[in-house]
Amino acid sequence: MNERPTPSAHKGAVHRPVIHDSAERHVTGSALYVDDMPELPGTLHIHVGMSERAHARLRAIDLQSVRTAPGVVAVLTAGDIPGVNDVSPVHAGDDPIFAEDIVEYAGQPIFAVAAETLQAARNAARLARIDYEELPAIITLDEALAAATDLAPAPELRLGDPDAAISASPHRLSGTLHVGGQDHFYLEGQVAYAIPGEGADMLVHASTQHPSEVQHLVGCMLGVPDHAVTVEVRRMGGGFGGKESQPALIAAIAALAARRTGRPAKLRLDRDDDMVMTGKRHDFRLDYELGYDADGRIQGARFEFAARCGRSLDLSNAIADRAMFHADNAYALPNAYVHARRMKTHTVSNTAFRGFGGPQGMMAIERAIDEIAFALGRDPLEVRRANVYPADGSALTPYHMAVTDSVLDELTEELAASSDYRTRRAAIRASNAESTAIKRGIALTPVKFGISFTTTHLNQAGALVHVYKDGSVHLNHGGTEMGQGLFVKVGQVVAEAFGIELDQVKITATTTAKVPNTSATAASAGSDLNGMAAAAAAQTIKARLAAFAAKKHNIAEEHVVFEAGRVRIGNQEMSFAELAHQAWMGRVSLSSTGFYATPDIHYDRATGRGRPFYYFAYGAAVSEVAIDTLTGETRLLRVDILHDAGRSLNPAIDMGQIEGGFIQGLGWLTSEELWWNDEGRLRTHAPSTYKIPTANDRPDDMRIAIWAKGENREPTIHRSKAVGEPPLMLAISAFSAITDAACAATGYRAFPRLDAPATPERILMAIREATGRAGKK
Amino acid sequence: MTSVSMTVNGKPASGEVEPRTLLVDFLREHLRLTGTHVGCDTSQCGACVVHVDGTAVKSCTTLALQCEGADVLTIEGLAQGDQLHPMQEAFREHHALQCGFCTPGMIMSAIDIINRHGGVPDETTIRHELEGNLCRCTGYHNIVKAVIAGGEAMAPGRAAAE
Ligand code: FES
Ligand code: FES
């Protein structure tokens, strides 16, 4: 009787490795990014004049010769802004679009030139004469700590009595770890194209993860309500958090030029300007103190972090908070104290970057565990496994949330077995004894990453679905596509709901005109939130269709079933298109919004208690490295990853996120080094000096698996789990493996205190310092 | 302004350019061939790779005037009507892209690698040769897989359709 195909037999179904919806356009070069859109006649091009000083008073800004240069149509400064000169994402008032009296980082915009061509704008900008009165600049984190430049008070997390627990412990250790920042290096740089409309209207095509915020901040800048500004984004050429708060500046400058000239205006930063002008991952100083027992079980832990925020608040509060929330990473700490200071420096304001402080926060405990294992002469994996959150839900995080969905014990053991970790570790130790120059290391590290925006009200999303009378479907939602595959995943959800093929669903550009008040596509929450909102919209239409069909055929609604492009109505059947057409004739609305707000989350920042996360995503990785102890050069030899994506909506897309996240994390921890000189000028502002991983840096042997048993215990969209950020932190296994190899270089006599990124210089320094200590023993 | 003419994707193309006009700007702005991307402006990322007389070049550091009379092939010129070039097909099928910004340059470099080696070189060689093409989204795994599959599908002699 039941011969209908299973739901997964048609292409649109979820849990299938469907290719990216834009794949065909990408391989033919026909996918349009903002800079590829046909330009309207009269389009102006903008170049931004930036501060050359890290901290200075602007005595005079002489732009006379800029104004009269050939091709220049407008020169814009703070005085030209009709509304508010601020693009702070938290309305802190500390992110001026153009500096007025003071500049606070080298690269800060002071003015912009809009000209007939980009070349004319660039040439003209060089004619500016800026008179600076230098002020003392604080560049490094340690300088900032010495001067106590805290931008905001830091909340605390406290569980039990950490100080008493540490003093009562049989073993103690403490240390400091510096972890560097990271440039996003989205391949498509920041860009916005503003088109003035009638009256006060402004349309902005922006490369942004957060269209609603760009809309609002452009509105504030222009002094017009949000309704006058429309922001649209079809796709980004990568975002990684760098297009969460940063695009507002770019869009605001483009919109200002458009408003002042009445002409369309485009601002595309070239790579060097982008790297100098826009924010990066926060670098952190991590201080830790732990007490543990003879088995390596942590009894108490104290973490004192400090983040280099740069010159303004931006999203630093939420980022430092997330670092605190991840100080425990995967480990149940019976007693813990966590604190993270938010330090101002005269450098670019640091911002969101995949993981949002979480990766930095995890680094301290992973280092500490390696150190505990060294001190006890144990395998670090055994120490890790002795401390992971138990599956029974009995342990609390430092913010008093019960971890009820831990799969860490099972997942780490499965990976240890599948990667043959223990045998390989023994073999590596044996071979290190034979080899003088080349030392190998191996490490398995787990990840537990909290899913939800920790600012509770951001956990909401909207969608808009239309079914046309020919049965084709228009899908829109508040999430943005940056390559992560959000659009195809949400498309799959809608196709699944209507039981139709994915190609019947048109996935359309994100626009503030269709779905309002959206949150950034961030916190890995894109498909969780927008998938649910789109499912809700589809459900509403489906219910109307079912009611219509049931009434017409005089049967109960539950006998109307949507699958495989057909609708079964009792013992009749018709195509989805036929039903849509009939419903239209029957005057049924075939359009609906959908809305979702993550349930059951709450957090009280003042007490440091609550349930900020709906659930946790888990994963683990084993990295094996070889270092050349003469040059400090590293080679990643093999990586095994086991990652929990719940019931993956699209395993192919998720595999891409896992692999890409790992490699990006690897870059952060090994090769990507941001370097400012004493004057606060970023000297690594191009890929020639800033080393992002190439095809040649990926390990020869990389084995990635999505955990087969994965399933979200919470009723998320088809029981999937967020996968955008968590895999980045799997790269900590490579850092630990390098530490292990460096330890081998001391003959396993001293623990190397390696900082990140583990560049060849740092590796050599760490080995030298550790060898020195070993010699003194 | 100087006039320049070349063959682009099999069709004659000409225009008035400044001597300093880059090939990428000529392609994108004069010919509206926007599949060739600019990722770094300084010859580092490979997003702008096109073929000039059968060889891969970075069009962000090639002057339009240098290509006077040359035969230029861009990503838009690879497919034959609806028929994707085997390398395009391989990138599509093997999930060798995420944001897609690096994809056109990757594909153009990939075809060049296969052409120069007269077949599919080993994986290590491919990875080494792709060093001039940055991808920030993927971990290169599927890209390398696609280069191998696409290279195998490129019938000998018909390499790069040039
Ligand atoms: S834009 Fe030409 S190499 Fe990057
Ligand atoms: S797919 Fe985004 S840079 Fe390669």
SS3 A613: coil
**Going from the N-terminus, what domains does chain B have, and what CATH number goes with each?**
2-76 (3.10.20.30), 86-161 (1.10.150.120)
Could you tell me the distance, in angstroms and rounded to a whole number, from the CA of residue B38 to the centre of ligand 1? 5
Residue A7 has pLDDT above 70, yes or no: no
Residues 48-67 of B with CB under 8 A from A: none
Residue A641 is part of which domain span?
284-454+605-776
Q: Does A705 touch chain B (CB under 8 A)?
A: no
Q: With contacts defined as CB-CB under 8 Å, which chain A residues touch B133? A: 694-695
From A277, A301, A319, the end of a domain falls on A277
Q: How many CA atoms lie within 13 A of A652 on its CB side?
A: 20
pTM for the whole thing? 0.96
What's the pLDDT at A721? 96
Report the residue from B32, B88, B101 with minimal CB separation from A188: B101
Q: Does A665 touch chain B (CB under 8 A)?
A: no
Residue A543 lies in a domain: yes
Helix A211-222 and helix A247-261, axial crossing angle in degrees, nearest 10 = 40
From A545, A576, A597, the end of a domain falls on A597
ipTM value for the complex? 0.95
What's the pLDDT at A1? 33
Same domain, A256 and A405: no
- Residue B92: which of B154, B149, B34, B159 has the closest Cα? B149
Q: Report which ligand 2 atom has the smallest distance to the Cα of A238.
A: 2
Cα(A371)–Cα(A172) distance, integer angstroms:
11
Residue A214 lies in a domain: yes
Instruction: Judge whether A725 counts as a catalytic residue.
Output: yes
What is the bridge-based pairing of β-strands A615-628 and A438-451?
A: antiparallel
What's the pLDDT at B158? 43
Q: Mean pLDDT over residues A139-150, rounded?
A: 98
Residue A105 lies in a domain: yes
Q: Does B149 touch chain A (CB under 8 A)?
A: no
With tokens 């999203």, the residue in question is A315
Residue A274 has pLDDT above 80, yes or no: yes
- Ligand 2 lined by A23 (C-beta under 6 Å): no
- pLDDT tens figures, A509-560: 999 999 999 999 998 889 999 999 999 999 999 999 999 999 999 999 999 9
- The alpha-carbon gap from A602 to the nearest alpha carbon of chain B, in Å, equals 33
- The alpha-carbon gap from B5 to the nearest alpha carbon of chain A, in Å, equals 22
Q: Which of B43, B63, B109 to mutate to test the pocket of ligand 1 (most atoms within 8 A of CB)?
A: B43
Q: How many folded domains does chain A comprise?
A: 3
CA distances from A555 to A548, A551, A560 (A): 10, 7, 8
Which of B161 and B140 is assigned the larger pLDDT?
A: B140
- pLDDT tens figures, A34-74: 999 999 999 999 999 999 999 999 999 999 999 999 999 99
Residue A10 has pLDDT above 70, yes or no: no
Compute the Cα dihedral for B63, B64, B69, B70 and give only its sign.
Answer: positive
**Phi, psi values for residue A772, rounded to 5°:** -60, -45
Same domain, A332 and A188: no
Q: With contacts defined as CB-CB under 8 Å, which chain B residues touch A22? A: 100
What's the pLDDT at B155? 67
**Residue A50: alpha-carbon gap to chain centroid:** 27
Report the residue from A26, A188, A696 with minimal CB separation from B97: A26
- Residue A730: which of A636, A640, A614 has the closest Cα? A640
Q: What is the dihedral of CA A104, A105, A106, A107, to 10 degrees?
A: -100
Same domain, A585 and A686: no
Q: Which residues, 6 or more positions from A45, have their beta carbon under 8 angstroms from its beta carbon?
A: A114, A115, A116, A117, A118, A120, A121, A265, A266, A267
HEC assignment per residue over A387-419: HECCCCCCCECCCCCECCCCCHHHHHHHHHHHC
Could you tell me the distance, in angstroms and rounded to a whole number, from the CA of residue A166 to the centre of ligand 1? 54
- Ligand 1 lined by B38 (C-beta under 6 Å): yes
Same domain, A569 and A668: no
From A568, A597, A626, the end of a domain falls on A597
Same domain, A664 and A724: yes
- Ligand 1 lined by B58 (C-beta under 6 Å): yes
Same domain, A546 and A679: no
- Ligand 1 lined by B44 (C-beta under 6 Å): yes
Cα(B104)–Cα(B121) distance, integer angstroms:
21
Cβ atoms within 10 Å of A156's Cβ, excluding its own: 13
Residue A623 lies in a domain: yes
Q: Mean pLDDT over residues A283-293, rounded?
A: 98
Tokens of A744: 């081998």
CA distances from A538 to A467, A532, A754 (A): 9, 10, 52
Q: Are A30 and B37 inside 8 Å of each other by CB?
A: no
What's the pLDDT at A523? 86
Q: Does B84 touch chain A (CB under 8 A)?
A: yes
What is the bridge-based pairing of β-strands B2-8 and B71-73?
A: parallel
Could you tell me the distance, in angstroms and rounded to a whole number, from the CA of residue A483 to the centre of ligand 2? 7
What's the pLDDT at A63? 98
Interface A-B: count of C-beta contacts within 8 A = 177
Same domain, A554 and A428: no
Q: With contacts defined as CB-CB under 8 Å, which chain A residues touch B84? A: 24, 27-28
CATH number of the domain that A726 lies in? Answer: 3.30.365.10
Residue A253 lies in a domain: yes
What is the bridge-based pairing of β-strands A602-604 and A609-611?
A: antiparallel
Residues 136-195 of A with CB under 8 A from B: 184-189
Q: Does B114 touch chain A (CB under 8 A)?
A: no
What's the pLDDT at A700? 84
Q: Are B134 and A694 inside 8 Å of each other by CB?
A: yes
Tokens of B86: 């085997």
SS3 A124: helix
Is the separation of the CB atoms in A290 and A172 below 8 Å?
A: yes
Q: Mean pLDDT over residues A492-520, rounded?
A: 96
Ligand nearest to the CA of A188: 2
Ligand nearest to the CA of A237: 2
Residue B102 has pLDDT above 50, yes or no: yes
Residues 350-369 of A with CB under 8 A from B: none
What's the pLDDT at B156? 56
Q: Which residues, 6 or more positions from B50, have their beta carbon under 8 angstroms from its beta carbon?
A: B23, B27, B36, B56, B57, B59, B72, B73, B74, B75, B108
Local confidence band at A498 (pLDDT 50, 70, 90 cut-offs): very high
SS3 A471: coil
Helix/strand number for chain B, H first, E second: 5, 5
- Ligand 1 lined by B123 (C-beta under 6 Å): no
List, in sequence order, every beta strand (DSSP E) within A644-741: 701-706
Residue A777 has pLDDT above 90, yes or no: no
- pLDDT tens figures, A200-250: 999 999 999 999 999 999 999 999 999 999 999 999 999 999 999 999 999
Q: Which of A187, A236, A484, A653 to mutate to test the pocket of ligand 2 (most atoms within 8 A of CB)?
A: A187
Same domain, A470 and A401: no
Same domain, A428 and A288: yes
List, in sequence order, every beta strand (DSSP E) within A420-570: 438-451, 460-467, 473-477, 505-507, 510-511, 560-563, 566-569
Residue A6 has pLDDT above 50, yes or no: no
Q: Are B92 and A24 inside 8 Å of each other by CB?
A: yes
Which of A52, A156, A725, A769 is catalytic? The answer is A725
Could you tell me the distance, in angstroms and rounded to a whole number, from the CA of residue B60 to the centre of ligand 1? 5
Tokens of A727: 């895999």
Same domain, A574 and A623: no
What's the pLDDT at A3? 36
- Which helix (DSSP H) or strand (DSSP E) does residue A539 occupy? helix A526-553
Q: Does A725 touch chain B (CB under 8 A)?
A: no
Helix/strand number for chain A, H first, E second: 19, 30
Residue A13 lies in a domain: no
Could you tell me the distance, in angstroms and rounded to a whole number, from the CA of residue A631 to the centre of ligand 1? 30
Residue nearest atom 4 in ligand 2 by C-alpha distance:
B135
Local confidence band at A775 (pLDDT 50, 70, 90 cut-offs): confident
Same domain, A431 and A510: no
Cα(A307)–Cα(B158) distance, integer angstroms:
56
How high is the mean pLDDT of chain A? 96
Cα(A317)–Cα(A314) distance, integer angstroms:
8
SS3 A575: strand
What's the pLDDT at A4? 38
SS3 A635: strand
Label residue A102 exposed, middle or buried (CB < 10 Å: 0-12, 13-18, 19+): middle
Same domain, A537 and A493: yes
Residue A410 lies in a domain: yes
Compute the Cα dihedral for A608, A610, A613, A617 and give only its sign.
Answer: positive
Q: Are B91 and A27 inside 8 Å of each other by CB?
A: yes
What's the pLDDT at A749? 97
What's the pLDDT at A624? 98
Cα(A432)–Cα(A430) distance, integer angstroms:
5
Tokens of A339: 């604190």
Is the separation of the CB atoms in A144 and A308 below 8 Å?
A: yes
- pLDDT tens figures, B125-157: 999 999 999 999 999 999 999 999 999 999 654
Residue A172 lies in a domain: no
- Ligand 2 lined by B101 (C-beta under 6 Å): yes
